[in-house]
Amino acid sequence: FHSLAISAFASLIAPFGGFFASGVKRAFNIKDFGNSIPGHGGVTDRFDCQFFMAAFSHTYYTSFIKLSSVTVGGLFNSFLALNADKQVELFQSIQEYLQTTGSISDAVKSAAAVAAAE
């Protein structure tokens, strides 16, 4: 599926990078972006669509393909950033979830009840 999305963008949208670059050049009254290749408008004029593809590929990869790495330490730091009321609310929500799913034993339930009473 990912290859179809990237290839569709590459064949249908990326070629318009040249038109976009031409619009930018016209807006700033620039003939071309360089003179590295005589008569061809410079190296950057040859790669207009590549810049679009690079931006799209990066955005697509970070949005849909890259796996997020959540760690216990990261979650704990986020928990510590909450104010005290939100920390208690989160603790009670997690406790309720674990009790409902049967993930914690009766000993843990009673210890949590004692902690909540204090």
Average pLDDT of adjacent 10-residue blocks, the chain of 118 residues: 86 79 78 61 68 87 85 91 94 87 74 70
Query: Contact 79/90 with Cβ under 8 angstroms?
Result: yes
pLDDT given at position 82: 94
Return the SS3 of 40. Answer: coil
* Closest listed residue to residue 94, CA positions, set 81, 107, 75: 75
